[in-house]
Structure 1
C-alpha cells in the first residue's frame, strides 16, 4: 500500500494506470502459479493498433521472453545505450530518449524500478513509471511481446536474450493506447515523460563549434538528456541516408563528449547513437576511420572505441555543427537550463516554485485562436502571474523574438516600460511550458498548432475584477511568447520580466480547435500563479428586461389585443408567438417552445397567459435582444457563435465566465457551434429565472456566489 504521506501522483506514490496495483497483481499471480495476463492491454492485434497483415508468413504471435530465448533475462550485465534497437515501428524519438536515459542511473531507476527479473519471483508481470502532465503514473504490463518469424516485432536489444527495453516500450505503448500511437514524434516528449523535466530545442548554428562542445559537455555533466537530428526539408527526405551515413529526420542520442590529441592537434569529439542499432557515420573520426591511427592506444581504450556496427560512433564537433541542425535538451532542474557553467549550487533548486494548471480549449467558448483572430483571442484561458521585487535576478533580458506568424502590424514588441527595465538589467526569470495533452491516445498522432503569449497588466487594471477583455488584447502587445505556433506536444520559453502582474494566454492557432493542455511555470519562490475568472453581476437581467417601451411597440401590442379575439384580455403562448413574430424580422421568428418559456417566466398567477403590460415588456425586450443579436452576428449568418454569445450577453448586462458560457451552450446550442436567435432568447430567459431565484435565496445559498449558483442550476 502506498505511503499516505506522499501526494497521489508523486514519484513515491504514483497514479496507478487503469487502477492496476503491481504488488497485489504480482502476489496473486505467484500464489496461483499462473503467469499474469493483462486484460487491459491484451495480446491481440488491437493492442498494436494497425491492420493485421493477411499474409500467413507475416502473422504476429505474442510470446513471453522465455518462449523466445531459453536464457532470457531482464537485464544482461549492466544497462547501456546499445541495449535499445529500433524495430518495425517509427519511434526513434522514444528510443533515442531511452538511450539518453541509460546514461543516468538515478533517472533510469525512476522509470525502471528494481528489482525486476525473469527468473526470481517471476510472475509474468512488470511495472514502469512515466511522468504525465504533472504527475507520475505507474503502468503494469504482462511480458507477452509481439513476435514475427521468431523475432521481436518492435524494440529489441543487441543482446538477444535481454528484454527490458522491449517491456518499457510495451508499457509506454499501453499508456498511449496502442503501439501505433508511438509512430512519429519529437524526442522531447520521451525525455520529459522519462524525467518530468523541461525539454527545449536549440539550433546548432547558434554557437561556434568549440562553444557548442562546451555547452554539450556542461549539459551532460549536469545530468541533462541530449539528442540531435537533421531536419528533413520534405516528407520524402525523412529516413533517407546522406553520403556521410546520417539519417535525415531521425533522432540521435548524444551520449558523451570528449577530446583527444591527434599529433599536436586537440580534437573535440561528440558521441552519438542511432536507435536503429546500425547505419553509422562514415566521416572523419567514425569507428573505422584512419584518424584513430594518430591517437595514443591508451586514449582509444579510455574512450572504449568499438569498431563494430552497433549504431554508436564519434564525430568531430566541427562536422557535427555542419551536418546537424537541432539539439534537444532536457533538464530536471530549472537551474541547469540555459546555464553554460556547471557550478550550480546543489540546493539551488529549492529557490524555485512550480505552479501548474490543467485547462481546455472548448470550441466556441475557450478556443479563441491566435491573436490574428482579434474578436475571439481574449476568450482563451487566462492565467495571472505576479512577480515581486524580491524575485529580481539582476540579469539582462532575453530578447523577445520578432518571428510572429500573424498580421505584420501585430508583431511582438517589448513595451516601453520593459525596454526601460531592460536597460537597468533588473529582471525576474520565469520558465513557461505549455503541453497539449493526450494527442496520441487514439492510435494516431494529431498535434494541433499551439503557443502562449504573456502580457503585462497595467497598474490601472491590476485591481479590476474578471478576465481581461477584447479591448485589452487589441490595445496591448505581448512582452513574451513561446515563438511561432507549432504542431508539437510542448512549447517552452524562458523569459526575463520586470516585477509586476502578468497574464499568460495559451492558445491554438485557429479558433474552435478542441484540446486539453497542461501549463507549468517555474519562478523564484514568492511568485504566484492564479486562474482569473469572470464574476457575474447579480443585477444583469434588470438591464435586459427593463427597457422603456417604444411608442410603436405600445401601438402594435394594443392593436393585437384589440383586433385579435383575445379571451379575457390575455395571450397564451400560441397567441403571443403570433404577436412577437409580427414584430420581429422574419429571420428572427420564435418557435412555440421559446414562447412558452417566455410566458412561463412571467408571474401570471398560474394561468400561463400574459396581460398587456407583460406582453409589452417582453416585446420591447425581444426587440432589444434582436438588435444586440444582429450587432454581434458578425458574418450576418442569422446565427451566433459562442464567442459572439459571450459578448452579446455582456452588452445585455451579463458578464459571465467561460464555464457559464460553456454550460449555456451545451444546454441551448445542442453541441452545435451555430446558435439561432431563439436559442439566444432561451439563454437570457433561463438566466432571468435563475437570477430571480438567487435574489430570493437565503444567505446560506448566496455565500458561494452567483457563479457557483448558475453552474449548479444550469445543468438541471
Structure 2
C-alpha cells in the first residue's frame, strides 16, 4: 500500500485563521498543525488558502486554466514524490500558466547558493518521514523573516500535469510548493502576474538590491558583474517592455531571465566577453552570436568549446556582453552586504532598520517644492556616521547605502498601487540632543546634500552615498503630499547610529548597541577607576555577569580560555590586559555579534548550524565561501558541528582582526607578500 493510499478516507484537519484584510500573512503554527494532523491521522487542508478558484484568482488567469481543473497532492501524482534532491540539476524549474517569470528568475538565482535557498526553503521536508500534507517556507517580509504554511494540494489538468511551476524532474515538487507559498503571501496565484526581479530578490534575502539601466550603464560594468558573479549575489535581468512575445532573435520581450555565468574567452581576433542566461520557461533561446548553433564557437580552442557549449533546448544560452547590453533593459544584482558597491578592502558593515508611516494631515508632507510646502512634516531620521576605528587611515569619505521600501496596503499584491517615493539627505551643522523634529525654518535655510532625481513607483528605492563623518538628516517622502502609506527605511554603513527624531520607538541594531553601551558605561568607568587595565580573569567576570538581552535563556558562559583568546586579539602591546578604550570598542562589537547571532538563531537554541553561521557572518560583514565556513565550524564549533555564542564571538573577532592585518599589509588590495617571520606570526596567530 502506498503512503498516499493509507491516508484515503481519513478526516480532514483545517485551520480557521484567514488571510484578514491587511498585507500581513496569517499566523499559523506549523509544528502545532503538523503534530495535530499526525495525531489525528489526517492530511492538512489550509482554509486560509483553500484549494478553490479564489486562491488562483478572479481575473484573466482563470480563462487560461484547463477544463476540469483538479487539486492533487504529490503522492497522488507520482509513485516516488520527493520534495528536494541535491543530486538534481539546480536549474530545473519551468514556468507554468502564471506570468511570474520575475519570480521564477529570482528562484533560479536562489538555487545557485545553497545557504540562501535553505533559508527560504527548509530542505529537510519530505513526503515520507512524518508526512502530514503540510509544508513551510520563509520570506523576508518588510524587515522580518516570516513563515508561510501551506498544504500540498496543487492545481493540475485532467492528465495530472502541474498547471503552474513544474520541474524537469517530474517527481520533484519543492518549486511548485514554493510558488504556492509565495502566492499565499501575495494574495493569490494571479497576484504573481507581472513584477520586477528585484522584488522577489528582496523577499528571498532581505539584501541590498541594485538595478542598473543598461542604456546608462557605467563604463566598468563588466568589473561590477565580475565581482557580483563571484560573490554572494543573485543576478537577474529583464528585456525591454512587451507582452512576452518571442522575437526573431529568440529573446522574449517583457521577460525576466537569470544570469548564471560570465566568461572571458580568447579568440583569434582578441578577447570576447560572454554572459550565460536562463529563460524561466526552460526553453526558447537566443539565436544570435554565441548561441547554441552559432559559428562563433569555432573561434575557440576545442577544449574551451567543450567546457562551455551545451546544445540543449533547456532555456540556457550564451551571448556576447555587447549584445546583452543592447537587447536587455535592466540588470538586477542582489547582495547581502553592500560590498559590491564599493571596492574598499577589509570592510565590516553594520545594518540598521526603522519603520515609519506617512499619514494624511500629519506626516504625509510630500516633496520639497517651495518655501510654503509641508515637506518639513515628513518623518525625520537622524544618521550619525563615523569611521570604524579612530586613529586609523581609511579611504575617505564613508560609504553609506540608504534603502526605502514602501509597504502594501492590501493583502493582494496586484491590488496595491505603488506610490512614487524617494528621500532627501541633509547635512547637520549641530547635533539636536532634544531629539525634537526639525522645524520648517531648518529646511528654508538648508539645501539638501542629496535629493531624488526622480520619484519612482517601485517597492524599493536605494542610493549609495559617500558621506564625511558627521551627522545627517534623512527625510523619506512621497511625490505628492497627503499620500498615506507605511515604509521601512534601512541604512548600511561601516559604523553609524540611526533613529527617528521625535519617535518613542526603540532604536535597533547599531543604535541599540550604543544604548546598551551607554547603559553600562557608568559601571565600566567605576571598574576601570579601580583597575586601569583588566586581565583575562577580570574580563571573564565582567562578561559572565552581563545580561545578554537578545539571547534569552541561552545566556553565554565565557571560559577563562575564551577570554584569554579575546585578550590576545585585542592586546596590541602584548601587556596581557586591555584599557577602558579597548574594552568599550570590544563591548560595541559584542553587542553587534549578539544581534546578528540572535537574528539567525531563529529557534532560540543558542547555537548556529552551517547555513546560519554563514548568514550571521555575512550580516556582520564577513563573507566566507561555503567550504571555508564549513572549516570554521569544524575549527571553532562543537563536536555536533554547532557553534555557540562564545565560539562565534571568538571567530568573529579573529576574522575581523585578520581582515585588518590584510588591509595593513596589502598594497594593491588584491594580495600580500610576506617574509618568513611575518608568515610564521600569521600562521601561529590564526
TM-score of the aligned structures, taking structure 1 as reference length:
0.62
User: Is 2:485 aligned against 1:488?
Assistant: no
Pick from 426, 444, 448 the counterpart of residue 478 of structure 1.
448
Pick from 122, 125, 130 the counterpart of residue 131 of structure 2.
122
What is the distance in 2 between the residues matched to 1:60 and 1:39? 19
2:168 paired residue number: 158
Contact 1:387–1:528 under 8 Å retained in 2? yes
2:39 paired residue number: 31
User: Is 2:350 aligned against 1:353?
Assistant: yes
Contact 1:462–1:501 under 8 Å retained in 2? no
Change (3 A) 1:384 1:446: same
TM-superposed CA distance for 1:17, in Å, is 5.4
Pick from 140, 148, 168 the counterpart of residue 139 of structure 1.
148
User: Any idea what SS the aligned residue of 2:43 has?
Assistant: coil
Change (3 A) 1:81 1:499: same
Change (3 A) 1:266 1:130: same
User: Is 2:453 aligned against 1:455?
Assistant: no
TM-superposed CA distance for 1:391, in Å, is 7.0
What is the distance in 2 between the residues matched to 1:42 and 1:385? 46
1:217 paired residue number: 226
1:322 paired residue number: 326
Change (3 A) 1:508 1:56: closer
Q: What CA deviation, in whole Å up to 9, does each residue of 1:637-696 have, x standing for no partner?
A: xxxxxxxxxxxxxxxxxxxxxxxxxxxxxxxxxxxxxxxxxxxxxxxxxxxxxxxxxxxx
Change (3 A) 1:483 1:62: farther
Change (3 A) 1:122 1:226: same
Change (3 A) 1:57 1:457: closer
User: Is 2:206 aligned against 1:196?
Assistant: yes
2:477 paired residue number: 507
What is the distance in 1 between the residues matched to 2:360 and 2:463? 26
What is the distance in 1 between the residues matched to 2:41 and 2:101? 37
What is the distance in 1 between the residues matched to 2:464 and 2:63? 51
User: Any idea what SS the aligned residue of 1:82 has?
Assistant: coil
1:643 paired residue number: none
Q: What CA deviation, in whole Å up to 9, does each residue of 1:127-182 have, x standing for no partner?
A: 11111222211111111012234332221122233211111111111122222222
1:84 paired residue number: 93
Pick from 337, 340, 350 the counterpart of residue 337 of structure 1.
340
Contact 1:393–1:429 under 8 Å retained in 2? no
TM-superposed CA distance for 1:479, in Å, is 0.7
User: Is 2:276 aligned against 1:271?
Assistant: yes
1:228 paired residue number: 237
TM-superposed CA distance for 1:302, in Å, is 2.4
2:317 paired residue number: 313
1:652 paired residue number: none
TM-score of the aligned structures, taking structure 2 as reference length:
0.65
TM-superposed CA distance for 1:375, in Å, is 2.0
Q: What CA deviation, in whole Å up to 9, does each residue of 1:285-319 have, x standing for no partner?
A: 1122222234344323423x332222111111121
2:289 paired residue number: 284
Contact 1:228–1:251 under 8 Å retained in 2? yes
What is the distance in 2 between the residues matched to 1:500 and 1:457? 8
The structure with the larger Rg is 1
User: Any idea what SS the aligned residue of 1:277 has?
Assistant: coil
Contact 1:391–1:428 under 8 Å retained in 2? no
What is the distance in 1 between the residues matched to 2:62 and 2:101? 23
What is the distance in 1 between the residues matched to 2:39 and 2:373? 64
2:244 paired residue number: 239
Contact 1:451–1:486 under 8 Å retained in 2? yes
Change (3 A) 1:122 1:93: same
2:367 paired residue number: 370
1:176 paired residue number: 186
Q: What CA deviation, in whole Å up to 9, does each residue of 1:565-616 have, x standing for no partner?
A: xxxxxxxxxxxxxxxxxxxxxxxxxxxxxxxxxxxxxxxxxxxxxxxxxxxx
What is the distance in 2 between the residues matched to 1:363 and 1:197? 30
1:75 paired residue number: 84
Question: Which aligned pairs between 1:586-597 and structure 2 lie closer than 5 A?
Answer: none
Contact 1:369–1:380 under 8 Å retained in 2? yes
User: Any idea what SS the aligned residue of 1:226 has?
Assistant: strand
TM-superposed CA distance for 1:328, in Å, is 0.6
TM-superposed CA distance for 1:204, in Å, is 2.6
Question: Which aligned pairs between 1:311-710 and structure 2 lie closer than 5 A?
Answer: 311-334=315-338, 336-339=339-342, 345=346, 348=347, 351-372=348-369, 374-388=372-386, 426-438=396-408, 441-444=411-414, 445-459=416-430, 462-463=432-433, 466-525=436-495, 527-533=496-502
User: Any idea what SS the aligned residue of 1:167 has?
Assistant: helix
2:253 paired residue number: 248
What is the distance in 2 between the residues matched to 1:101 and 1:440? 27
Please give the root-mean-square deviation of Cα atoms over the aligned residues, in Å.
2.8
The alignment covers a number of residue pairs equal to 477
Q: Structure 1 residues 101-110 or 16-25, which shifts more? A: 16-25
Change (3 A) 1:173 1:56: closer
TM-superposed CA distance for 1:63, in Å, is 1.1
What is the distance in 1 between the residues matched to 2:90 and 2:445? 53
Change (3 A) 1:142 1:262: same
Change (3 A) 1:363 1:148: farther
2:119 paired residue number: 110
User: Is 2:27 aligned against 1:19?
Assistant: yes
Q: What CA deviation, in whole Å up to 9, does each residue of 1:463-501 have, x standing for no partner?
A: 565211222223322112354111110000110112222
User: Any idea what SS the aligned residue of 1:99 has?
Assistant: helix
What is the distance in 2 between the residues matched to 1:300 and 1:78? 25
User: Any idea what SS the aligned residue of 1:151 has?
Assistant: coil
What is the distance in 2 between the residues matched to 1:171 and 1:426? 45
1:706 paired residue number: none
User: Any idea what SS the aligned residue of 1:239 has?
Assistant: coil
What is the distance in 2 between the residues matched to 1:165 and 1:53? 21
What is the distance in 2 between the residues matched to 1:282 and 1:395? 52
What is the distance in 1 between the residues matched to 2:481 and 2:497? 29
User: Any idea what SS the aligned residue of 1:172 has?
Assistant: helix
Q: What CA deviation, in whole Å up to 9, does each residue of 1:183-202 have, x standing for no partner?
A: 22211111121112110112
**Could you list the runs of 4 or more consecutive aligned residues of structure 1 that deviate by over 6 angstroms after TM superposition?**
391-396
Pick from 174, 177, 182 the counterpart of residue 167 of structure 1.
177
Q: What CA deviation, in whole Å up to 9, does each residue of 1:36-58 have, x standing for no partner?
A: 11122111112122258589953
Contact 1:272–1:313 under 8 Å retained in 2? yes
Contact 2:282–2:315 under 8 Å retained in 1? yes
